Amino acid sequence: MDTQNPLTIPVNKDVVAGAIFIAFAIAFGVVSTAYPMGSAAQMGPGYYPLLLSGVLGLLGIAIALTGWRKSAERMVVVRPLALIAVLSAPLLFAVTLRPLGFVPAVILTSLLATMAAPRMSWMARILSALGLALGCTAIFIWALGIPLPLLGSLLRF
């Protein structure tokens, strides 16, 4: 994989943005219809969100239309591997914290996060994880006193 040059993909920005807004408008709008509507004088929980979804849908259509005639432009985007590593790091922390405890969760999360850096040596990754484990324990557990077990139930014998 070429890690030197940034990754680019062709995107029609206005059309895609419009489509995203329309999708959110439909999602919020459909869910709102499940709530009582009420009347203008006594608005129910569904009235205002449905109104907003309608406006958002119209704006989405207008945005998509402005981009309809333009052609797609090449745009620099983040690599899929980096994207997955960064976004799943907080999730890994959430999943590992209870069973493994704070220190192992920090080490695993930071190892996962460094996967987003393609040309980092394993030594540097491990050093950075250990450094962060020490630093985070010092700041969050010792200094701020957050009540989290350093080692989780699975690792205590």
Partner 1 sequence: MELLDNVLLGLHTAMTLQNLFYCLLGCLLGTLIGVLPGVGPTTTIALLLPITFGLDPSTSLIMLAGIYYGAQYGGSTTAILVNLPGEASSAVTAIDGYKMAQQGKAGSALAIAAIGSFIAGTIATVVVVVFSPPLSELALRFGPPEYFSLIVLGLVLSVTLANGSVLKALAMIILGLLFGLVGADIYTGIPRFTFGEPSLMDGINFVAFATGLYGISEILSNLEQDPSRKSKVSKPKGLLPTWTEMKRSIGPILRGTGLGSVMGVLPGGGATLSSFAAYTLEKKLSKHPEQFGDGAIEGVAGPESANNAGAQTSFIPMLTLGIPGNGVMAIMIGALMIQGIQPGPSVMTTNPALFWGLIASMWIGNLMLLMLNLPLVGIWVKLLSTPYNFMFPAIILFSTIGIFSTNMNGIDLGLVAMFGLLGYVLIKLDCEPAPFLMGFILGPLLEENLRRAMMFSRGNPATFVASPLSAGLLAVAAIALILMVLPAVRKQRQKVFTD
Cα gap 8→77, rounded to integer Å: 6
Residues 97-116 that bind partner 1 (CB under 8 A): 97, 106, 109-110, 113-114, 116
Interface with partner 1 includes 26 (CB under 8 A)?
no
Give the dihedral of Cα atoms 40, 45, 51, 53; nearest 10 deg.
180
By the 8 A CB rule, do 52 and 101 touch?
A: no
Q: How far is the CB of 150 from partner 1 (least distance, A)?
A: 13
Tell me how many residues contact partner 1 (CB under 8 A): 73
Residues 40-99 that bind partner 1 (CB under 8 A): 40-45, 48-49, 52-53, 55-56, 59-60, 62-63, 66, 75-79, 82-83, 86-91, 93-95, 97
Question: Which residue's CB is nearer to partner 1, number 90 or number 155?
Answer: 90
Interface with partner 1 includes 126 (CB under 8 A)?
no
Q: Which amino acid is at 59?
A: L
Cα gap 59→38, rounded to integer Å: 25
Question: Which residue's CB is nearer to partner 1, number 52 or number 157?
Answer: 52
Question: Which residue's CB is nearer to partner 1, number 42 or number 157?
Answer: 42
Cα gap 141→65, rounded to integer Å: 53
Q: Which amino acid is at 73?
A: E
Q: How far is the CB of 157 from partner 1 (least distance, A)?
A: 25
Cα gap 132→114, rounded to integer Å: 12
Interface with partner 1 includes 150 (CB under 8 A)?
no
